[in-house]
A and B are shown apart, each in its own frame.
Chain A
Amino acid sequence: MGMIELTYREALAKSIEEEMQKNPEVFIMGEDIGRYQGTFKVTRGFVEKFGSRAANYNYRILDTPITEAGFTGIGIGAAMAGLRPIVEFMTMSFSILALDQIINHAAKVHYMTNGEVKCPIVFRGPGGAAKQLSAQHSHSMDGWYAHVPGLKVVAPATALDAYGMMKAAIADDNPVVFYENPGLYTVKGEIPDDNPNFTIPIGKAQILKEGKDISLIGYSRMTQVNLAAAELLAKDGIDAEVVDVRSLLPLDTETIYNSVRKTHRAVVVYEDWRSGGFGAEIVSRIQEDCFDSLDAPVGRVGGLNVPMPYARNLELLCIPSEEDVVACVHKIG
């Protein structure tokens, strides 16, 4: 199998493009995704491949007005009819305007019809802080969505997972929130070049670095932070294991628990606001189910509970860093 080195952004584009080539019922819609090629340029070149620049509109690569609730709902309706839409949000912060459509409609229709109607749709976009985008553009929406039965929520941390999990998300018959992170788009990784049927299933965590002293548990960009923290800890003689959660809903507790039962210590790291964020749920599960294996309280590193400030020094205070993770590891002892 040939491999190719791509950035996370390019891996996503390759994944979506291959799925659109394979299945004419897959299409993508969102603001400025066509002619403008997407705010974060994930859909670069798509309008030429799947439509035409001259057309008023292209159904397969649909530039929408700035009406998140409206276009999200249209995507959901199309999914109820069996199409497989990918809805791009410029940032997950703007998906707040579509919460009613996602939570009250997409997430409920399968249950409310007792399985008669499926809703195969992907909601994707960058969540969390980019750089100095301040209070209204920096939300981590992962925890909000992972709270909702009926949605699946994934947050891959590597280019390969972005590639493989996007394929799984598009193939899934349920609504999937695909949480990217602006800080990940330039992360590079090896991707299968000529295997469009490659996929990474939703619902499986992975161990990205084995270790015996403590489990660092995170997802999305925080997994990269945990990998960096593990290197720092190694210098202090602490052998950390990095658990990449990958999928929040469903949550692979088995992989998480096996790691904790091995290392007897855990720190959970997440970018979302510390109070009530999804990391709090992981901490709670560990203490409910692995209490006897623990040699220390479960540590938690989350974003500060403040609206994201603009000044770079203040912004950096709010986002968990590898130093914060190391400090937490030392604190729990």
Chain B
Amino acid sequence: MAKKEEYKITESAAELEEHLRDMLFIRHFEEKCNRVYREGKAGGYMHVYIGMEALAVGWMKAIRKGEDYVITAYRDHAHALLLGTPPEAVLGEIMGRKIGTAGGKGGSMHIYDPKNGFYGGWGIVGGHIPLGAGLAFAARYRGEDKVCLNFMGDGASNQGVVFETLNMASLTDLPCVFIIENNEFAMGTRLEYHAADKELWKRGLPFDIRSERIDGMDVIDMKRKATEIVEWCRKEQRPAWIEIMTYRYSGHGAADNDRQLYRTKEEEDLAWQRDPIARLKMQMIGLGYMTEEKYEAIEEELIEEVERIYEICDASPFPEPDEVYDNIYSDMKPEAGH
């Protein structure tokens, strides 16, 4: 990646504080999720977003919330929270409760909130990429002014169906931004072991698609560039393929309890120096927009908020047994016993 040019911060103190709060809320929410999982109150596969907060915050602030479409894989808590899904519904889903976004039928990997433009929440690596293009197709078909943000991991970008989708998205002029959350790992496999060319951003070029690589650890820059790209897609009615460089500090999922199998402690320590939250905090302190005391107060407030959400979820019921047959179809149920 070319060295980033210095830029002048013109964003207001209030806007930067909102970025900071959003990122911090995600981080504390996700840390709580990890604890909830360890305590056995959540199960299955659960993947948190710690380290990647600036990426989702930047992009979600670049779109028209509730109008534009957003779709992602299983690492989906942050996207939902930022789009306005009530956090109780997100944590409730992770804990398999009735108040969850899917009444406890989806779990951590399948958070949805179509009213806020969020279409999941998908567990087959790369499988949702054509669906996102299909959402963009619907917008284009109807002549609506909407774009789709179509997120995937670096590992997902190897799937054949992704290339099939890029070809069609370009052929049929879809307003779809394909966003690779390149956190350097596909589970326990490092980028250089899974991608023949580590510069994933180039993969849009053969399809005549606008293709770029951007740093995702700087929320100010992320939001600015995301905004430009989203508006370009909206105006040009063309797809874009954007690789975002980020890092996940946690394990791949809650079930990954030995990160040393694929990376060293030293590497992690180095990566922590790029922490997007610490970076924004320092930028704000430098501008006189933040103090250590205020930062601590914000953190405390958010931690309490997350605890309050947890208490609500923990006190709420699991789905009823007879709900097992509900919503397989919109208009019928299977015969009982089948």
Task: Report A's interface with B, CB cutoff 8 A.
Answer: 25, 27, 56-57, 59, 62, 64-65, 67, 69-83, 100-101, 104-105, 109-118, 149-150, 152, 172-174, 203, 250, 253
Q: Which 8 A-B pairs have the closest CB atoms?
A: A77-B134, A73-B130, A70-B164, A81-B138, A77-B131, A67-B164, A115-B327, A114-B103
A106, B101: Cα distance in complex, Å: 19
Give A81 to B167 CA distance when docked, in angstroms: 21
**Interface footprint category on B:** 35 or more
Contact of B329 among A57, A79, A150 (CB under 8 A): A150
Q: How far is the CA of A80 from the CA of B139 in the complex (A)?
A: 12
How far does the alpha carbon of A56 sit from the alpha carbon of B208 in the complex, in Å?
A: 16
Q: Are A110 and B164 in contact (CB under 8 A)?
A: no
Interface of B is mostly: mixed
Tell me if A113 and B167 are in contact (CB < 8 A): no
- Contact between A73 and B129, CB atoms less than 8 A apart: yes
> In the complex, A73→B135 CA distance in Å?
10
- B: residues with CB less than 8 A from A are 69, 71, 101-103, 105-106, 110, 112-115, 119-124, 127-142, 160-161, 164-165, 167-168, 171-172, 326-332, 334-335
In angstroms, Cα B168 to Cα A270, docked, is: 37
Q: For chains A and B in complex, what number of residue pairs have CB atoms within 8 angstroms?
A: 157
Chain A residues within 8 Å of B121, by CB: 112
User: Are A79 and B134 in contact, CB atoms less than 8 angstroms apart?
Assistant: yes
Which residues of B lie under 8 Å from residue A111 when comparing CB positions? 105, 327-328
- Taking CB atoms, residues of chain B closer than 8 Å to A250 are 332, 334
How far is it, in angstroms, between the C-alpha of A70 and the C-alpha of B137 when the chains are bound? 13
User: Nearest residue in A to B165 (C-beta to C-beta)?
Assistant: A70
A231 CA / B235 CA spacing, docked (Å): 66
Having A69-B164, A174-B331, one finds 13 other A-B pairs with CB under 8 Å, namely: A59-B141, A59-B172, A71-B130, A77-B135, A77-B136, A80-B119, A111-B328, A112-B120, A113-B112, A114-B102, A116-B102, A150-B328, A150-B329
A-B contact pairs, 15 of them (CB 8 A): A25-B142, A65-B168, A70-B164, A71-B168, A73-B128, A75-B134, A78-B138, A79-B134, A80-B114, A112-B105, A112-B110, A115-B326, A115-B330, A117-B114, A150-B328
Contact indicator B140/A59 (Cβ below 8 Å): yes
Chain A contacts of B133 at CB under 8 A? 73-74, 77
**Which A residues are in CB contact (< 8 Å) with B164?**
65, 67, 69-71
- Residue of A with least CB distance to B172: A57
Contact between B122 and A105, CB atoms less than 8 A apart: yes
Chain B residues closer than 8 Å to A72, beta-carbon distance? 130
Q: Determine which of B69, B124, B129, B132 lies in contact with A104 in the assembled complex, contact meaning CB atoms within 8 Å.
A: B124
Give Cα A25–Cα B139 distance, bound, in whole angstroms.
12
